[in-house]
């Protein structure tokens, strides 16, 4: 009985540790948002405040879905990336006007990754989907989006989000340009030791989050500042 209690204590402590780290990452994202707004020196309209609150709500939902996935799995393998991203995409769909987003998925079955990696991947995917809905078709035509993901046993994974929109504006460089959303995605990718790549033309945007194999360095405690 003592052994069972010890294992339960370890499991609870690990869950608490993960929740604390993930909430710290979420808090870091909100601080980044606050700092960008503060430095701009501009007042927000009521509509902008509503959009800002929607963004924060979406990030909280992503974190909640991550912990729900962990609780339901209970297998110690981590998070099934394909299922998790599908839930994230469906959640983003509920925040969009009806019929604005047509989604397809091409994700490997039972591809598990570490919870912290899943949180960052989920937040980036949510941002990419939101941007596609907002900007891919300014005329309001429904945007077609494909989400593809692949995982490897060594911790490497790929997330790809492709839309059929009009692409980025001329002279726009996603590596350095963009507003808060792009800054957040770049910060999250850095926290993953991953690359966030973009290809675009007049037929759409393809964004790739490429995470290499896990290194020996422990990065579990790193958060966005």
Residue 220 lies in a domain: no
Residue 20 lies in a domain: yes
String of b and e for 184-196 (b: at least 16 CB within 10 Å)?
bbbbbbebbebeb
> What's the number of domains the chain is made of?
1
Whole-number pLDDT of residue 62: 76
Residue 223 lies in a domain: no
* Whole-structure pTM value: 0.75
Read off the pLDDT of residues 175-220 as tens digits, 9 standing for 90 and up.
999 887 888 899 889 989 999 999 999 899 999 999 998 764 333 3
**50: domain CATH number?**
3.30.565.10
Residue 115 lies in a domain: yes
Residue 92 lies in a domain: yes
Rg over CA atoms, the chain: 18
Q: How many CA atoms lie within 13 A of 102 on its CB side?
A: 8
Query: Is 146 a residue whose pLDDT tops 90?
Result: yes
Helix then strand then coil, in percent of the chain rounded to 5, is 50, 20, 30
Residue 123 lies in a domain: yes
Residue with token string 């079955």: 109
Residue 225 lies in a domain: no
Read off the pLDDT of residues 8-33 as tens digits, 9 standing for 90 and up.
333 444 544 555 566 666 666 677 66
Residue-number span of the structural domain to which 178 is assigned: 2-211
Whole-number pLDDT of residue 11: 45
Q: For a pLDDT cut of 90, what percent of the chain falls above it?
A: 31
In eight-state DSSP terms, residue 135 is: H
Residue 156 is encoded by which pair of tokens?
Answer: 């490497």
Residue 219 lies in a domain: no
């Amino acid at each position: 009985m003592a052994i069972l209690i010890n294992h339960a204590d370890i499991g609870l402590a690990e869950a608490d540790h993960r929740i604390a780290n993930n909430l710290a990452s979420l808090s870091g994202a909100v601080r980044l948002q606050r700092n960008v707004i503060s430095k701009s020196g501009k007042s927000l309209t009521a509509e902008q405040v509503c959009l800002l609150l929607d963004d924060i709500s979406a990030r909280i939902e992503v974190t909640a879905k991550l912990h729900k996935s962990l609780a339901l799995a209970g297998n110690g393998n981590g998070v099934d990336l394909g299922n998790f991203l599908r839930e994230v995409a469906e959640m983003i769909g509920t925040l969009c006007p009806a019929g604005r987003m047509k989604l397809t998925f091409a994700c490997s079955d039972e591809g598990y990754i570490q919870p912290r990696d899943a949180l960052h991947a989920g937040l980036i995917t949510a941002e990419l989907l939101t941007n596609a809905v907002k900007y891919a078709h300014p005329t309001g035509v429904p945007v077609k989006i494909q989400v593809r993901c692949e995982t490897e046993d060594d911790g490497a994974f790929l997330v790809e989000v492709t839309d059929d929109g009009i692409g980025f504006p001329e002279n726009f460089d996603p590596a350095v340009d963009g507003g808060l959303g792009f800054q957040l995605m770049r910060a999250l990718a850095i926290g993953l030791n991953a690359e966030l790549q973009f290809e675009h033309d007049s037929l759409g945007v393809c964004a790739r989050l490429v995470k290499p194999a896990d290194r020996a360095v422990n990065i579990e405690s790193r958060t966005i500042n």
